Structure 1
Amino acid sequence: MNTKSNVKPTSKELLQRKKQMEKRMAKQMDKFKAKRMEKQPDKRAVIPTLIIHVIVLILTWRDIASRTDDEVRGNKAVWRVASALNTIGSVAYWIFGRKPRNPLT
């Protein structure tokens, strides 16, 4: 390589620099891909979680449908949307959205 700063690099030097840069970029891409693979969720955990969410959602919607408006705190449609978005919405309905049923009626 030329050590003088005012001398233009030769085509051979430019080619070497290009190869070095390509190697560095390839290493960086490999690191990026490895990190990305580490962050992907495990499919063995996603499917059971999805099944649990659907079961809890069905039970929540059945309970909402079986209750009158007076037996639910808030709007029934809002509770349906909240429970459909995530499992926490269903849990919130079971804890906060239900009023106790009067056993005498």
Structure 2
Amino acid sequence: MTTKKMELAAGAKAGLGVLGLVQAAFAFLAFWDLAHRGADEVRGPKAVWIPAILVNWIGPASYFLFGIRR
């Protein structure tokens, strides 16, 4: 049985790299915001948001949409 190796085009690799950087920046901003906010400004315990933010895209988006008291 042979396996076919699939390779991505250069543009696709670059696009995935950019998406990875954007996701990492999004998570960094969520962690930075969480660290600089008081506990009274965050919904739920701050310690619960740390692992939640680690879930790609969904975690940081959830923090910014639902975790910050307005």
Among 65, 68, 75, the alignment partner of 2:35 is: 65
- 1:37 corresponding residue in structure 2: 6
Unaligned runs of 5+ in 2: none
Residue 83 of structure 1 pairs with residue 60 of structure 2: no
User: What TM-score do you get using the length of structure 2 for normalisation?
Assistant: 0.78
TM-score if structure 1 supplies the norm length? 0.55
The count of aligned residue pairs is 68
Max radius of gyration: which structure?
1
1:94 equivalent in structure 2: 64
Amino acid corresponding to residue 77 of structure 1 in structure 2: A
Higher helix share: 1
1:66 & 1:56 partners in 2: Cα distance? 16
Question: 1 CA distance for matches of 2:33 and 2:24?
Answer: 14
RCO higher in structure (CA 8 A, sep ≥6): 2
- For 1:41-88, what per-residue CA distance to the aligned partner results, in whole angstroms no more than 9, with x for missing partners? x42222111110111111111111111111111121221211123121
> Unpaired segments of 5 or more residues in structure 1?
1-24, 101-105
Over aligned residues, Cα RMSD in angstroms? 2.1
